[in-house]
Amino acid sequence: MHCKTSSGVPMPKVVNPKHRRSSRQLIDSRRPALADVAPLFDRPQPGWVATIRQSLGMTRRDLARRMHVAESTVARLEASECAGTIQLDTLHRAAEAMDCELHYVLVPRRPLEDMVIEQARKRAAALMSRATHTMLLEDQKPDDESLQKLLSEMTADRIDTPGLWDDTER
């Protein structure tokens, strides 16, 4: 299933490594702007539905009629939004009934590329740790420069590989 973007800007399909890289670059290029404006859209204490409804001078009964639901359903909807348990389709219906658009976004705390490289480095380091342990048992300790070069190469090899985030994989 593919979601439509509200802005009409298509996101690349994320299927193969080339597309994953392109998608990360696109998201990373937007991340600073998203991070700057995201705090402006923090949910108000009564929730967005109640805040917009009240700002419009609309009662719960009015909204219920527009949504074709019972007034008690609107009360539960507003409570579930505050509790963080509201379903997106329900929130979308409420937004439509108040002539609003619903937008939601995940804003990465740091660049996705950095996250992928860090994870690949962790996976490479874990593999190297096992290999160097075996080498030490055989009295073949590699020098630090060689280890760093190998770690860099192994990290690069693991970026965009299947199972990168599979913590159960050994």
pLDDT of residue 139: 64
The answer, yes or no, to whether residue 90 has pLDDT greater than 80, is yes
Residues in Cβ contact with 63 at an 8 Å cutoff, skipping those fewer than 6 apart: 49, 53, 74, 94, 97, 98
Minimum mean pLDDT among 20-34, 125-139, 143-157: which range?
125-139
In a domain, 36, yes or no: no
In a domain, 105, yes or no: no
In a domain, 2, yes or no: no
In a domain, 150, yes or no: yes
Q: Which two tokens stand for residue 48?
A: 């967005």
In a domain, 148, yes or no: yes
The answer, yes or no, to whether residue 169 has pLDDT greater than 70, is no
In a domain, 65, yes or no: yes
pLDDT of residue 146: 80
> Domain residues for 49?
44-97
Tell me the torsion sign for CA atoms 104, 110, 114, 120: negative
pLDDT of residue 1: 46
In a domain, 63, yes or no: yes
Number of domains observed in the structure of the chain:
2
The answer, yes or no, to whether residue 159 has pLDDT greater than 70, is yes
CB contact at 8 A, 161 and 167: no
CB contact at 8 A, 164 and 117: no
Same domain, 119 and 79: no
In a domain, 31, yes or no: no
pTM exceeds cut of 0.95: no
Q: What is the pLDDT of residues 14-23, one digit of tens each?
A: 567 778 999 9
